[in-house]
């Protein structure tokens, strides 16, 4: 009997609404995960619910409200667009979309795929990290641990150096640089605590450096005078995080009156970290500090380039058909 294959597309997650209640619920689920914050629960949960969420809820709600798209979060909107396009492209292949935290839930997606013999999990995290990719796979394994005959799961490690991914990004960047070439192309990735890099260990920084190297190698063929820099954003708390910090670098570049274009290669689709943190907060910081010009290149989102990339990742995951 032929094996039945299915595809599960996974991203991090998002609040269901841009309201304090929905955002509080989402942050609670997200930040309770030990892969995200590895402090002991007895220590962390009182801090999370007594200090962190109450202190940050008002302005996080305002930030989500500023970027809300078509009555939902941009992350969910673009992921759903990609998912629908893959369903059209692969009409005979069961394909589901799920979020590690929030809706659509991993459990509901897995239930719809439970008749598959093998589920190919495509996590939309180009660079592997224990805080994202591993968190999703651990949750999936936990959810099916009591199933009598769970499917085989084929996890995509990451696609930091996948030629389809690099080519899509380089072409996407070129479409913007050819219209307005800056002094600096800044590649900003989400940061993680340095303690995770050392003690887990987590290869995330190395994977980001690899993506940066491959992009720089190709894009500077067309723009030999372009300076390419790599930074990390979204620092949280007082501990040491991956460096250099995006905001600090932008501030220094602004004082030198440089022109900057920013892209966030670690984000498959736009979200609060790109649309608000980069394109609103850091743009304002840069311009107010004297920067010459600031441009943000959107994520690949549901661009045809991203659709071709996702199709390539699915094709590479599925077993090869005999000739």
- Whether the per-residue pLDDT at 35 is higher than 70: the answer is yes
* Residue range 154-177: mean pLDDT, rounded: 97
Instruction: Specify the CATH number for the domain of residue 151.
Output: 3.40.50.1400
What digits encode the pLDDT tens for the residues 78-87? 999 999 999 9
322: confidence class by pLDDT, cuts 50, 70, 90: low
Q: How many residues does the chain have?
A: 323
- Whether the per-residue pLDDT at 260 is higher than 80: the answer is yes
Element (H, E) at 233: strand 227-233
- pLDDT of 267: 98
- pLDDT of 94: 97
Residue (of 39, 145, 48, 136) closest to 97 by Cα position: 136
* Residue range 68-83: mean pLDDT, rounded: 96
**Are 279 and 264 contained in the same domain?**
yes
CA dihedral 37, 39, 41, 45 (to 10 degrees): -70
**Are 35 and 176 contained in the same domain?**
no
Residue 273 is assigned to a ligand binding site: yes
**Are 287 and 309 contained in the same domain?**
no
**96: Cβ–Cβ under 8 A, 6 or more apart, which residues?**
6, 7, 8, 9, 83, 104, 109, 110, 112, 113
Residue 276 is assigned to a ligand binding site: no
**198: Cβ–Cβ under 8 A, 6 or more apart, which residues?**
none
Q: How far apart, in Å, do the first and last CA atoms of the chain sit?
A: 19
pTM of the entire predicted model: 0.95
What is the extent of the structural domain holding 67? 5-156+304-317
1: confidence class by pLDDT, cuts 50, 70, 90: low
**Are 30 and 110 contained in the same domain?**
yes
Q: What φ, ψ does residue 3 adopt, rounded to 5°?
A: -70, 140
**Are 147 and 171 contained in the same domain?**
no
């Amino acid at each position: 009997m032929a094996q039945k294959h299915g595809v599960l597309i996974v991203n991090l997650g998002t609040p269901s609404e841009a309201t304090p209640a929905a955002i509080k619920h989402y942050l609670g689920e997200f930040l309770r995960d030990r892969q995200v914050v590895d402090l002991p629960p007895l220590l962390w949960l009182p801090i999370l619910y007594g200090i962190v969420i109450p202190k940050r809820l008002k302005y996080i709600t305002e930030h989500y409200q500023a970027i809300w798209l078509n009555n939902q979060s941009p992350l969910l909107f673009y992921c759903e667009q990609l998912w629908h396009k893959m369903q059209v492209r692969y009409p005979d292949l069961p394909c589901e979309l799920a979020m590690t935290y929030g809706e659509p839930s991993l459990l509901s997606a897995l239930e719809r795929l439970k008749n598959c013999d093998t589920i190919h999990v495509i996590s939309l995290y180009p660079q592997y990290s224990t805080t994202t990719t591993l968190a999703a796979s651990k949750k999936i394994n936990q959810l099916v641990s009591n199933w009598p005959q769970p499917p085989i799961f084929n996890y995509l490690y990451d696609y930091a150096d996948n030629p389809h991914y690099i080519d899509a990004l380089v072409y996407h960047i070129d479409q913007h640089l050819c219209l307005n070439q800056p002094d600096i192309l800044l590649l900003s990735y989400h940061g993680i605590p340095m303690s995770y890099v050392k003690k887990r260990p987590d290869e995330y920084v190395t994977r980001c450096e690899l993506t940066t190297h491959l992009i720089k190698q190709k894009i500077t063929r067309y723009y030999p005078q372009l300076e390419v820099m790599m930074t990390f954003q979204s620092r949280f708390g007082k501990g040491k995080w991956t460096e250099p910090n995006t905001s600090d670098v932008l501030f220094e570049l602004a004082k030198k009156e440089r022109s900057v274009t920013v892209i966030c290669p670690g984000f498959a689709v736009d979200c609060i970290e790109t649309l608000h943190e980069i394109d609103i907060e850091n743009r304002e910081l840069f311009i107010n500090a004297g920067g010459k010009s600031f441009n943000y290149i959107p994520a690949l989102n549901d661009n045809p380039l991203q659709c071709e990339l996702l199709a390539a990742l699915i094709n590479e995951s599925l077993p090869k058909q005999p000739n």
